[in-house]
């Protein structure tokens, strides 16, 4: 649409190279971020990313470009990509263009807003810090999350990021009276379908919105789906005055989509092939996730770490935006310690005495110290064996191994695979259990009694049958000796 004349503004396709399309306009040149449509039924949608000269714009197609040819007419829509907002979006599933993909009824009574919004000003931001309980022991005790903060789940392929994220959704939506928005960036369609079914069964869809830019879609669509999700989140925070839980899986795929777009646009890559504008693009998305005077957006983001290398620029740039970093370890996953969170690499800015309290802070520090000492002693144990350690060191090892097992937890999301019923554990129960282990109360219990339980008292119930069996064996062995002694 030409802003001066109010008439439709048309151009023609000048060149097509994969997803990159150059369009010539003889009249008004569309501004950057304008959406252009072309092809049969206007099916091909292009976003303008650069004005090359007085007549040409270069854009990236957000849809497949099959059938697009030079000379085809292109229509300027006169505005940017928009997302639907309003109460009608709840319990629905969308793609990047705001089309419903859940085979439900058509949307009605929604407002369409641009996905390109500025972050809230510093004056509007809230500065109070509150802890956000998840019901997962190792997170609540060692890496407490912030209400209205940003937490990242870092890990390589297959260490449990999506499972942990799904478990958090399950645990939080019951206690969390706000709106939950799930944004799948570069998701496998299998994961999207499984999540939809799980949320439907749990009965939490009425307060949930899902957006997907799937793995098979062009990079332009994957690059913009995060912005569309944030536009919806901002509506619920600023207009509906509700707290929002924003779940992003996976922020690395957003960076990867930006890398593909940048390469297609002909920009010179920077370190390790990443786009030169990566920091700016990530900040443009992350800075919109904020607490304001009207509500809070609490965000939990999965971050794929390429080849488990935490010095990768994508991981480094993402770390800087987060209030809590939960690092998943392949080594712990291989030992069967799930969730496979590495307590020594994970950190949270909420873990200070002023926020979590003196007792919680002191306990968390003692747990970290015990686990760190155990990590140092592992080399000696591997070379010389446990017997060569001093009694004090042996006590540390026993405490650390029991702590590691107590910090495992059965998940609701994995019940169908493990056959163990999921557990939610309150922060008070988790702290109580850790304190009692550090005080050597469970020194005589087998380590296996603490593995995959909820609260610590379950260990007593679990180890009773084991203790009885051990006692019976011992009495069977002793009885002949007693008889001999008596006879003598």
Quick one: tokens of 351? 């873990």
Quick one: tokens of 387? 């017997």
Q: Compute, in degrees rounded to 10, the torsion defined by CA atoms 425, 430, 433, 438.
A: 160
CA distances (Å), origin 307, targets 188, 279, 304, 312: 20, 21, 9, 9
Sheet strands (E) in 150-266: 150-155, 179-187, 208-214, 244-249
**Given 188, 368, 436, 462, the catalytic residue:** 188
Quick one: tokens of 246? 């924003």
CA distances (Å), origin 363, targets 146, 319, 407, 427: 19, 25, 14, 12
Tell me, yes or no, if 188 is annotated catalytic.
yes
**Phi (first) and psi of residue 424, to 5 degrees:** -110, 130
**Given 146, 167, 187, 286, the catalytic residue:** 187
Tell me, yes or no, if 161 is annotated catalytic.
yes
* Residue 249, strand partner residues: 184, 302
* Residue 360, strand partner residues: none
Helix (H, G, I), strand (E, B) or coil at 446: coil
**Given 82, 92, 161, 332, the catalytic residue:** 161
CB atoms within 10 A of CB 483: 10
Strand 73-76 to strand 35-38: parallel, antiparallel, or no bridges (unpaired)?
antiparallel
**Cis, bond preceding 339 (omega within 30 deg of 0):** yes
Closest CA to 295 of 177, 197, 203: 177
CB atoms within 10 A of CB 410: 18
Length of the chain: 488
Residues marked active site are found at 161, 187-188
């Amino acid at each position: 649409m030409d802003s001066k004349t109010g008439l439709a503004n048309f151009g023609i396709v000048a060149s097509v190279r994969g997803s990159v399309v150059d369009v010539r306009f003889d009249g008004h040149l569309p501004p950057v971020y304008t959406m252009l449509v072309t092809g049969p039924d206007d099916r091909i949608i292009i976003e303008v990313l650069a004005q090359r000269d007085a007549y040409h714009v270069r854009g990236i197609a957000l849809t497949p470009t099959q059938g697009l040819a030079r000379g085809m007419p292109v229509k300027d829509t006169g505005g940017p990509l928009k997302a639907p907002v309003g109460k009608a979006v709840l319990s629905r599933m969308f793609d990047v263009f705001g089309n419903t993909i859940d085979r439900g009824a058509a949307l009605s009574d929604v407002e369409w807003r641009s996905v390109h919004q500025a972050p809230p000003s510093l004056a509007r931001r809230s500065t109070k810090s509150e802890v956000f309980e998840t019901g997962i022991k190792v997170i609540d005790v060692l890496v407490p999350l912030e209400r209205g903060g940003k937490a990242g789940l870092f890990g390589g392929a297959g260490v449990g990021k999506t499972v942990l994220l799904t478990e958090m959704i399950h645990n939080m939506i019951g206690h969390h009276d706000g709106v939950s928005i799930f944004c799948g960036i570069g998701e496998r369609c299998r994961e999207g379908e499984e999540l939809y079914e799980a949320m439907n069964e749990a009965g939490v869809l009425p307060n949930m919105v899902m957006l997907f830019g799937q793995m098979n879609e062009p990079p332009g669509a994957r690059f913009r789906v995060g912005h569309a999700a944030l536009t919806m989140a901002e509506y619920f925070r600023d207009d509906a005055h509700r707290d929002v839980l924003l779940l992003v899986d996976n922020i690395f795929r957003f960076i990867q989509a930006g890398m593909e777009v940048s390469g297609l646009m002909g920009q010179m890559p920077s370190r390790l092939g990443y786009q030169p504008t990566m920091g700016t693009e990530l900040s443009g998305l992350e800075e919109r996730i904020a607490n304001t005077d009207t509500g809070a957006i609490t965000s939990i983001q999965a971050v794929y770490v390429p080849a488990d290398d935490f010095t990768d620029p994508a991981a480094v740039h993402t770390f800087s935006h987060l209030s809590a970093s939960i690092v998943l370890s392949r080594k712990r996953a291989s030992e069967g310690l799930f969730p496979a969170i590495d307590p020594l690499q994970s950190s949270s800015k909420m873990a200070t005495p002023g926020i979590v309290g003196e007792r919680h802070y002191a306990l968390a520090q003692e747990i970290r110290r015990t686990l760190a000492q155990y990590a140092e002693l592992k080399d000696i144990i591997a070379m010389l064996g446990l017997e060569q350690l001093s009694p004090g060191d042996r006590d540390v090892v026993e405490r650390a191994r029991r702590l590691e097992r107590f910090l495992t937890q059965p998940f609701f999301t994995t019940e169908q695979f493990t056959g163990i019923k999921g557990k939610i554990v309150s922060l008070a129960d988790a702290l109580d259990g850790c304190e009692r282990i550090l005080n050597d109360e469970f020194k005589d219990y087998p380590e296996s009694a603490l593995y995959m339980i909820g609260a610590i008292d379950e260990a007593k119930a679990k180890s009773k049958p084991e203790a009885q069996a051990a006692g019976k064996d011992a009495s069977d062995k002793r009885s002949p000796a007693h008889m001999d002694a008596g006879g003598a």
